[in-house]
């Protein structure tokens, strides 16, 4: 069948549709070759077993960072809080770049992961820059 590979997003005339069984149920995926299927399955399995780390990281880190920022407002303008938020959330996204179904539709999973990592790296950088600015220039 014709379509786009869910992993590398290349268009191909003879796409294979496979049903992959996970803990949470069966998922139908379209892949162009065995290599893409293997990588996709490996990523899904990784995502399935680490999805809670991702959510906990993205909920807990801003809560801690926010509390630290408020608590240290008078000391460093909340710089340490911003550092925790930026670096913590960025690191969580870099380590667990679980892309949304919309991103997968647009880019395929492979590029979606790359995009996630870039966003994560930018967050880390933002945290560091805010930390430096708040500490020394405010
Ligand atoms: Zn492919």
- Alpha-carbon distance of 69 to 62, in angstroms, equals 10
CA of 3 to the centre of ligand 1 (A): 11
Residue 131, pLDDT above cutoff 80: yes
For the segment 3-28, what is each residue's pLDDT rounded down to a tens digit? 899 999 999 888 999 998 877 788 88
pLDDT band at 2 (very low <50, low <70, confident <90, very high): confident
Pick the more confident residue, 51 or 137: 51
CA of 29 to the centre of ligand 1 (A): 11
Q: What is the largest CA-CA distance in the chain?
A: 63
Residue 124, pLDDT above cutoff 90: yes
Exposed, middle or buried by CB within 10 Å (0-12, 13-18, 19+), for 47?
A: middle
Residue 64, pLDDT above cutoff 90: yes
CA of 22 to the centre of ligand 1 (A): 20
For the segment 65-75, what is each residue's pLDDT rounded down to a tens digit? 999 999 998 88
The fraction of the chain above a pLDDT of 90, given in percent, is: 62
CA of 114 to the centre of ligand 1 (A): 15
Q: Among 77-86, 98-107, 127-136, name the one with the lowest average pLDDT.
A: 98-107
Exposed, middle or buried by CB within 10 Å (0-12, 13-18, 19+), for 35?
A: exposed
CA of 39 to the centre of ligand 1 (A): 9
- Alpha-carbon distance of 46 to 49, in angstroms, equals 5
Mean pLDDT, residues 119-135 taken together: 95
Residue 138, pLDDT above cutoff 70: no
CA of 118 to the centre of ligand 1 (A): 22
CA of 59 to the centre of ligand 1 (A): 33
């Amino acid at each position: 069948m014709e379509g786009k590979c869910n992993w590398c997003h290349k268009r191909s005339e003879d796409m294979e549709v496979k049903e992959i069984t996970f803990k949470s149920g069966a998922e139908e995926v379209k892949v162009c070759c065995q290599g893409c299927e293997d990588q996709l399955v490996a990523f899904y399995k990784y995502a399935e077993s680490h999805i809670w780390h991702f959510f906990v990281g993205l909920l807990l880190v801003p809560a801690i960072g926010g509390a630290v920022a408020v608590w240290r407002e008078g000391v460093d303008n909340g710089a340490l809080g911003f550092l925790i938020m930026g670096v913590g959330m960025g690191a969580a996204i870099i380590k667990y770049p679980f892309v949304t179904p919309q991103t997968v539709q647009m880019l395929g999973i492979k590029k979606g992961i790359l995009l996630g990592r870039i966003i994560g790296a930018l967050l880390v950088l933002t945290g560091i820059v805010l930390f430096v600015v708040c500490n020394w220039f405010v």
